[in-house]
């Protein structure tokens, strides 16, 4: 039975929510599946992904083929790397401790990148809020200035110093 790791769509119209599942490739997209491996919510920024990495690695080692999007999600969460490192352990190129150390180092680096992106998104949101507040203040000041009546002050004609009549 050919197994695929793919996304099953849930949620409502315009608000997709996906389950990452291992399913028979002949089953319908939203139909029967063998095992639910996680969830993927693209509506949040950054996207929320919950994945059972060990379960995904088990299916990959048993020959399951991920779809393109599922492969990207598995790669993002480190399941593809863990599968690759497990292959190295089987061949004898690495010990299990070395593979685990490499995987944990990669996870820490990835977590810092994601935290940096989330932080930059928060900063951008704050800056946009500040600019909107300044623009609103400028509009309010212009509105107040337009509402207040302008009183015209008549100025007396200026007398020129050094006129020719007074000197003669």
pLDDT score of 162: 61
> Residues 65-100: pLDDT tens digits?
999 999 999 999 999 999 999 999 988 888 889 999
Beta sheet of 3-12, edge-to-edge order: 48-51, 35-41, 15-24, 3-12, 65-66
Task: Look at the block and give the residue holding tokens 């977590």.
Answer: 111
Label residue 165 exposed, middle or buried (CB < 10 Å: 0-12, 13-18, 19+). exposed
- Give the residue-averaged pLDDT of 124-145: 90
Q: Per-residue pLDDT tens for 3-19? A: 999 999 999 999 999 99
Instruction: Record the pTM.
Output: 0.71
């Amino acid at each position: 039975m050919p197994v695929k790791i793919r996304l099953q769509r849930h949620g409502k119209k315009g608000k997709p929510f996906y389950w990452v599942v291992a399913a028979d490739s002949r089953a319908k997209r939203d139909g029967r599946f063998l095992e639910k491996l996680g969830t993927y919510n693209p509506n949040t920024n950054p996207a929320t992904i919950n994945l059972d990495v060990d379960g995904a690695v088990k299916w990959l080692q048993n020959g399951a083929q991920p779809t393109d999007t599922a492969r990207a999600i598995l790669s993002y969460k480190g399941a593809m790397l863990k599968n690759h490192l497990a292959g190295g352990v089987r061949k004898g190129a690495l010990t299990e401790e070395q593979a685990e150390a490499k995987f944990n180092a990669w996870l820490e680096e990835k977590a810092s990148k994601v935290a940096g992106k989330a932080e930059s998104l928060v900063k951008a949101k704050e800056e946009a809020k500040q600019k909107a507040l300044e623009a609103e203040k400028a509009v309010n000041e212009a509105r107040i200035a337009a509402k207040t009546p302008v009183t015209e002050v008549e100025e007396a004609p200026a007398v020129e110093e050094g006129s020719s009549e007074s000197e003669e």
